[in-house]
Amino acid sequence: MKTIAILGTLNTKREEINYIRERIIEKGHQAIIVDLSLNLWDTSSFRSDIGQQQIADESGMKLEELTSMAQEEACTVVIKGATSLVGKLYRSGKLNGILALGGTVGTSMGCAVMRSLPLGIPKLMVSTFVSDIRPFVGNKDIVFFPSNIDMFGLNHISKRLLAKAAGAIVGMVEADTVPFTLKNPSLGCQCVVIRPHVLIG
């Protein structure tokens, strides 16, 4: 059995996140839900495994301070706390893959957390953002799973899309049977092609 972390804002995406969680469990794996919500919400309706309080504590802040911040500042704090907690899961051997779900803000936060993980661990971003994804991915092996619809609850279209996303991350962790290690030092490089401009006067 593999363990997959699911990241997202439960105050707006809990139906979709829970649906992915159920599909992962159906496949015989464990899911850990990490709540990236920036605002306070009624958590009695749905419980995460790593909630807002834990993320605030990990960031050295009170929850009331975090949820009263401006969005950009709150995002930075949530990313810091979630990155630390997800990193602890990975280092303890309790994380085999990670999936995040969101729009522009959720994509930014989810990818930031995933970029902190090493090359080789399966990473999947289910995003409604379909423009230039390079700032989100950076130089990491994050697989983008584009959504052709906005996420406003479950319907026959979103269920099909989310089931495929769950199947994708399950397939990735099941195929990842050999631990990723570098036996010898490796060097990576990025080539940039510069096209000269010819001025005709």
Tell whether 187 is covered by a domain: no
Rounded CA-CA distance 136/140 in Å is 9
> Is pLDDT of 150 > 80?
no
List Cβ neighbours of 115 (8 Å cut-off, separation of 6 or more).
137, 138, 140, 142
Q: What single DSSP character describes residue 34?
A: E
- φ, ψ (nearest 5 deg) of residue 40: -65, 140
Q: With bands split at pLDDT 50, 70 and 90, how would you rate the model's confidence at 201?
A: very low
Number of domains the chain is built from? 1
Tell whether 69 is covered by a domain: yes
Paired strand residues for 30: 3
Model pLDDT for residues 38-73, shown as the tens digit of each residue: 998 888 888 899 999 999 999 999 999 999 999 999
Tell whether 77 is covered by a domain: yes
Tell whether 24 is covered by a domain: yes
CATH number at residue 39: 3.40.50.12020
- Domain range for residue 89? 3-175
Tell whether 185 is covered by a domain: no
pTM of the prediction? 0.85
